[in-house]
Amino acid sequence: MNDTSRRQFLQTTAAVVASTAWWAVEAAQLNGERPEQDASVRVVNPRDRVPVSFIIDDSTCLVNLAYFAMPQFSETWPQRLDYQKPWATWPREIPDSFVRRFGEWCAERGVRGKYSIVPQPACVGWVDRELPGWSHRQLEDSLQLVRELMLPNWDIHPEMATHTRVIDTKTGRPFPERGPEWMENWQWTDGKSVDQLADYLTYSLQILKNAGLPCDGITTPGGFAGKVVPELAQATLQSVRHVYGSEIPHYFKFLYTDDRSVVPRVEYARGLDGNDPECVVSIIGCTGDWFGGWDGAEPGSPDQFITADLSSGRMVDVIEKQEPAIMVCHWPGMYYNGTEHGFKVFQTVVDRLHQRFDNLHWMKLSQISRYWAAKELTTMIRINNDISFVAPFSSPDFTLLLPGAEATSIRLQHKNSDILLRSIPERRQLTAGTCCKTNDGWLACFDLPKGQSVLRMSNPEK
Ligand SMILES: [Zn+2]
């Protein structure tokens, strides 16, 4: 290999590595504090169901991010053929009529997940001010649609500021320098400190806050922060708490499609005994974008998620392991330049999942984060038939398996309240306030209050 072709090879390899952001180099993460938890008490999945969720990247108001990002990406990496697609022939808009149909279809089936709103999409404009190419009325209507239709079932994330050029947070304009060192997706974050990243995240979150959208987390665009993951985790914790006062910030950076665990990671936990406990949760996707690609030009198939005979596929594998099964897509791929190919793949996947499984629990990423923070950070001490909790965070549907426990009744006591858990015959019917005797032991499901509480199991009279 001569010098030129070697350089080209290295550049191309670097570009490929950088663009496969989610499975970027896994940096050592700090868990932080962990409390005492009695080995005979097991926190299982909420309501003994498997959490499922859907991550939508690269969405925003009106702007088709693929159309506007492609020329900026191809200028950054002129050798890369995957950035030479005919973007100029694509629609510049993903219309709100599509958002509405998608959102309504999902709401009817209980689908939940995360929907990005890129705050300054590809430098086209600012979702809190003006989107050149659309009237202010159209922008306002688009934001209102997100607030009304999407917010109940979807977390909103910034996907940093532009998903393309890096913004000077002092001026709100892209830096004049060009190249991968000045693109969010690539090398700009290399070597950046927690404070530098937190400044950039704060800038991005503030635009969404101005636009009236709440956030508990962030999504990294492409390779953003791939080499500074511990710093990213801490910057997320700081900036989301600073801008929104969120109790449990989370971030989406990684997805694994091999046999690694995709259980969320609760990181940088501290102050668990005090008034201001904190942690940040890394949410991990379990599929690639096998819907329609990031640009809406790579047709996917439902079979990779779950086959037509419902017997196999990546989602089946993860659900059977009882780990949260979180699919990942890109909004331009769902719209697919108007043919909606990605959306059709998704509809088939959801229908098949609901045919195959009766134990799924659709959750937002913030709900999954809260559950895992409570699961890992709640002190649980057992003395005979009493289990005492000290919970830094409350959690709905907190579900325990108590192997071998003998009990005729189970109650939860917290401050002045004393709730008898209603015994039900079928574990599939578990909801907060119920318990169920199974072959594995008692399952108890309740809304875990913040602070101290006690679960009391009463023995049969001997
Ligand atoms: Zn993205």
Type of residue numbered 436: C
Q: Which residues pair with 327 in a beta bridge?
A: 54
Gap between the Cα atoms of 299 and 329, Å rounded: 12
Phi, psi of 331 (to 5 degrees): -60, -45
Please give the distance, rounded to the nearest whole angstrom, from the Cα atom of residue 122 to the centre of ligand 1. 11
Q: Could you write out the DSSP letters of every residue in 263-325?
A: --EEEEEE-TTSSS-EEEEEEEE-S---SSTTTT-S---GGGTS-TTSS-SHHHHHHHTTS-E
Q: Which residues pair with 438 in a beta bridge?
A: 441
Token output for 145: 């649609």
Q: Which residues pair with 399 in a beta bridge?
A: 445
Q: Could you write out the DSSP letters of every residue in 213-224?
A: ---SEEE--TTT
Q: CATH homologous superfamily of domain 49-370?
A: Glycoside hydrolase/deacetylase (3.20.20.370)
Please give the distance, rounded to the nearest whole angstrom, from the Cα atom of residue 69 to the centre of ligand 1. 10
Please give the distance, rounded to the nearest whole angstrom, from the Cα atom of residue 221 to the centre of ligand 1. 4
Please give the distance, rounded to the nearest whole angstrom, from the Cα atom of residue 6 to the centre of ligand 1. 29
Domain spans, the chain: 49-370, 379-458
Please give the distance, rounded to the nearest whole angstrom, from the Cα atom of residue 110 to the centre of ligand 1. 24
Taking a 5 Å cut-off on Cβ, the residues next to ion ligand 1 are 57-58, 221
Please give the distance, rounded to the nearest whole angstrom, from the Cα atom of residue 116 to the centre of ligand 1. 8
The β-bridge relationship of strands 441-448 and 434-438 is antiparallel
Please give the distance, rounded to the nearest whole angstrom, from the Cα atom of residue 124 to the centre of ligand 1. 16
**The pLDDT value given to residue 459:** 76
**The pLDDT value given to residue 26:** 46
pTM of the model: 0.93
82: exposed, middle or buried (C-beta count within 10 Å: 0-12, 13-18, 19+)? Answer: middle
**The pLDDT value given to residue 11:** 44
Compute the radius of gyration of the chain from its Cα atoms: 23
Please give the distance, rounded to the nearest whole angstrom, from the Cα atom of residue 41 to the centre of ligand 1. 40
The 10 Å CB-count burial string (b at 16+, else e) for 10-41 is eeeeebeebbebbbbeeeebeebbebebeeeb
Please give the distance, rounded to the nearest whole angstrom, from the Cα atom of residue 330 to the centre of ligand 1. 7
Phi, psi of 30 (to 5 degrees): -100, 120
Gap between the Cα atoms of 284 and 249, Å rounded: 14
- 393 within 8 A of 248, measured Cβ to Cβ: yes
Please give the distance, rounded to the nearest whole angstrom, from the Cα atom of residue 65 to the centre of ligand 1. 9
Please give the distance, rounded to the nearest whole angstrom, from the Cα atom of residue 170 to the centre of ligand 1. 24
Gap between the Cα atoms of 48 and 361, Å rounded: 9
Please give the distance, rounded to the nearest whole angstrom, from the Cα atom of residue 166 to the centre of ligand 1. 14
**The pLDDT value given to residue 460:** 61
Please give the distance, rounded to the nearest whole angstrom, from the Cα atom of residue 57 to the centre of ligand 1. 5
Please give the distance, rounded to the nearest whole angstrom, from the Cα atom of residue 394 to the centre of ligand 1. 31
Gap between the Cα atoms of 179 and 399, Å rounded: 50
The angle formed by the CA atoms of residues 183, 187 and 189, to the nearest 5 degrees, is 90
Please give the distance, rounded to the nearest whole angstrom, from the Cα atom of residue 169 to the centre of ligand 1. 20
> 455: helix, coil or strand?
strand
Q: Could you say which residues of the chain have pLDDT below 50?
A: 1-28, 462
Please give the distance, rounded to the nearest whole angstrom, from the Cα atom of residue 208 to the centre of ligand 1. 17
Please give the distance, rounded to the nearest whole angstrom, from the Cα atom of residue 4 to the centre of ligand 1. 31
* Helix (H), strand (E), coil (C) string for 120-144: CHHHCCECCCECCCCCHHHHHHHHH
Please give the distance, rounded to the nearest whole angstrom, from the Cα atom of residue 331 to the centre of ligand 1. 9
- 330 within 8 A of 58, measured Cβ to Cβ: yes
Please give the distance, rounded to the nearest whole angstrom, from the Cα atom of residue 358 to the centre of ligand 1. 32
Gap between the Cα atoms of 364 and 52, Å rounded: 9
Q: Where are the alpha helices (DSSP H) in 186-340?
A: 194-210, 229-244, 314-320, 331-335
Please give the distance, rounded to the nearest whole angstrom, from the Cα atom of residue 164 to the centre of ligand 1. 10
Torsion of CA 183, 187, 191, 196, to 10 degrees: 10
Please give the distance, rounded to the nearest whole angstrom, from the Cα atom of residue 388 to the centre of ligand 1. 43
DSSP 325: E
pLDDT digits (tens, 9 = 90+) for 74-101: 999 999 999 999 999 999 999 999 999 9
Closest CA to 266 of 359, 397, 395, 113: 395
Q: What share of the chain is helix, strand, coil (3-state, %, to 5)?
A: 35, 25, 40
Gap between the Cα atoms of 266 and 22, Å rounded: 17
Q: How many CA atoms lie within 13 A of 191 on its CB side?
A: 3
Token output for 423: 């015994």
Please give the distance, rounded to the nearest whole angstrom, from the Cα atom of residue 216 to the centre of ligand 1. 18
* Helix (H), strand (E), coil (C) string for 42-105: EECCHHHCEEEEEEEECCCCCECHHHHHHHHHHHHCCCCHHHCCCHHHCCCECCHHHHHHHHHH
**The pLDDT value given to residue 6:** 40
Please give the distance, rounded to the nearest whole angstrom, from the Cα atom of residue 163 to the centre of ligand 1. 7
Please give the distance, rounded to the nearest whole angstrom, from the Cα atom of residue 375 to the centre of ligand 1. 30
CB-based contacts of 138, cutoff 8 Å, min separation 6: 62, 131
Please give the distance, rounded to the nearest whole angstrom, from the Cα atom of residue 176 to the centre of ligand 1. 23
| CB < 8 Å & 24+ apart, contacts of 425-428 | 427/48, 428/358, 428/359
Please give the distance, rounded to the nearest whole angstrom, from the Cα atom of residue 130 to the centre of ligand 1. 22
DSSP 181: G
Please give the distance, rounded to the nearest whole angstrom, from the Cα atom of residue 325 to the centre of ligand 1. 19
